[in-house]
Copies of this chain bind each other. A is one copy, B any other.
């Protein structure tokens, strides 16, 4: 089978067998935002045509290609969901010469009854869930995802808008004056993480990044790391309260920051290879009887 992770800014495709790593892989910048109206069939054929010609007949897609801005909108599937539920909820898309199915995103509601969504991450989480049993997983990013995994299924999750909030605050508030680009300062990052455990609230703590600098207690070169630690720290306090262990899968630099912040909160961290999509696609493909 062919598995495709088609996101906003890139398209990644894999030839996937019943076991072992993908035999072929493809990574190109043609994200869904670059596809002209009605252009999805041609764009996909352009990417995986040679594999189809080589005899592949089944294509499983995940990611923002199933969003309102994508090829076809695949409705969100409600948690708890594992490979079987996700496979059963895939959407078939007519495509000459191959069977095409689109993986749904997942939705859940938090204690307050407010909905949350993911699209693309569910496939990575399926891969993590298979090996972990019951665990709390974190996929750090612009919109970090914290997911509860139980018996191979995603039973619930919460999104934290931490990365995007960091970008907005460090570029478009009074903190921008001192949040200059520069190397990470681990000690300042840790101070921010520790600050997040104190009372006062995030909106007050943000101003502290300004006043600490004003009072000569935080260097300009440290402010950006302090702010990063403060926001990631607040995320962890909210998302991992009472938790003793977290499984982390994300890009190397960001994962290192999260691992440091989790350790600072006394939480055990297991880091995973973030390249999980092909494995998740295979598991959902297995539930479809495709591998």
Q: Which residues of A contact B (CB under 8 A)?
A: 107, 110-112, 114-117, 143, 158-162, 164-165, 167-169, 171-174, 195, 198-208, 210-212, 214-215, 217, 231, 234-235, 237-239
Contact = CB atoms under 8 A, between A and B. Distances in A.
A235 B165 contact: no
A171 B173 contact: no
Given A112-B198, A168-B168, A208-B116, A203 B234 contact: yes
Contact of A158 (B110, B114, B200): B200
Nearest to A166: B203
Contacts of A200: 110-112, 114, 158, 238
Contacts of A158: 200, 204
A203 B160 contact: yes
A223 to B, nearest CB: 14
A125 to B, nearest CB: 17
A169 B171 CA distance: 11
A160 B201 contact: yes
Nearest to A114: B208
A112 B203 CA distance: 15
Contacts of A235: 201, 203-204
Given A115-B211, A117-B214, A198-B111, A161 B237 contact: no
Given A115-B211, A168-B168, A168-B173, 8 more contacts: A111-B198, A112-B198, A114-B212, A117-B211, A160-B204, A160-B207, A165-B206, A171-B172
Contact of A234 (B111, B202, B212): B202
Contact of A114 (B107, B115, B195, B238): B195
A165 B169 CA distance: 7
A204 B238 contact: yes
A110 B205 CA distance: 10
A204 B201 CA distance: 14
Given A164-B173, A165-B169, A116 B198 contact: no
B215 A115 contact: yes
A54 to B, nearest CB: 39
A250 to B, nearest CB: 16
Contacts of A116: 207-208, 211
Contacts of A117: 211, 214-215
5 contacts: A107-B215, A110-B198, A161-B173, A162-B203, A165-B173
